[in-house]
Structure 1
């Protein structure tokens, strides 16, 4: 029997599989069956909870978050999933983490620290950059993105563990009506696909604010539209920060369909060494998988 849990971070939901010693043969077929919302447990992604040594990962972090999209493809990391991952390690008693303490976790995007802040967790996603550098920041975009029923819109590519493209819309009504049932078309097409975040600024952009405020929806590579995307939330704030120039804040609130997340950014308009994501993590169920 394999022990599993179901958890979510702002309703971005995951199946977590216990595999400390790395014994599970985690195939794309198994991932798709677990993530299936009618025939399986249902999830945006699957996380194998495995020790780094058993998975051949960086031994400086004891635990590796082996993250997979619901379509069976591997992803570099998952911002919401990282918080749920740490919450599950705490629930199982495999780590201890007092308020204010940090735990390093290994991901395909590198080793990243997660800090406990009461009921919330903050992960530092590390270095980031606007893919097109200062020229893309100056132009405000480096790609176009097409959604059903709309003309091509400018998008800004942000590299942050996972690839992202961020698009701004003029109002929340247009955002709510957007059809994300099919993948947006990004031109030029990224070689490995990309997440697409669509945002509407809600703060006064004509004055310097201490806290920026965005409303966001997202279409995730390998999962479709989800209720939230952690790295996408950070990418959205970084793009809005680049668009805002000298008036843009470093601290952001981002409202997604599944709740609210917070972002703290450092660096220039086009790159930096730190970007932090803060939000909740909830474990909702535990059980054992029945295998035939």
Structure 2
């Protein structure tokens, strides 16, 4: 990857890492399905009146929106709402990296190099250490259902990554911003329907009538910064590089997520979590730079 694209990937990491604290803030004033529906409504409107619709088959637009937007965030918001610590959630969600690499080999016939396998395995070990650290921390206990919901959210994100790759491969001139904005229309209805069924009319009315500044700011961040900017940049990177080059950067999201959760929410890191962060960063460095370093060493030999 070029230096510019590497910096863009790191910008997305920071945006998405802080995103978990923002979600927690938003959920203090609004139930999860309603928060998701209003988030994507703000992404789509008024942007759809200024940005042309992408010229791609509706089935791919619908699959992209359903996986990476509706299902991912429905599961994630519900997980955090039932007590999943935000820092640990930012970590477990990055299972999408491993799911994406596996799905990329199955559906896109992408080839994985030895260093990518080694780096991914090391990073996975770091994730395991982080989870173990969370289990023994002063954080509230990690709900088993919350863990399952977050893992499922990671799998949905991975399917969204693969769909994104299929779309931009079949239609290379598809504007990523157009894809993000127009796909945001699709999850609005299922989110609001789920809110009506599971959260109830009273909760919806009370949340909207009594909405406070922190919830409004959270919605603005989730819609414009996390979704339009974050997913716009992420989709652009996936359109230019193989999935195994891009998705490992997401392994740094938990580093930002855990740090911001510690600083803002008081979810303190313990020794095991710090070790896990270091191991994940090591795995990422091997994944991104390992093949290049080995090639230069072989050349000098």
**Bucket of the pairwise TM-score, normalised by the shorter protein:** under 0.3
Q: TM-score, normalization: structure 2?
A: 0.25
Higher helix share: 2
Structure number with greater CO (CA < 8 Å, separation at least 6) is: 2
Q: TM-score, normalization: structure 1?
A: 0.26
Higher strand share: 1
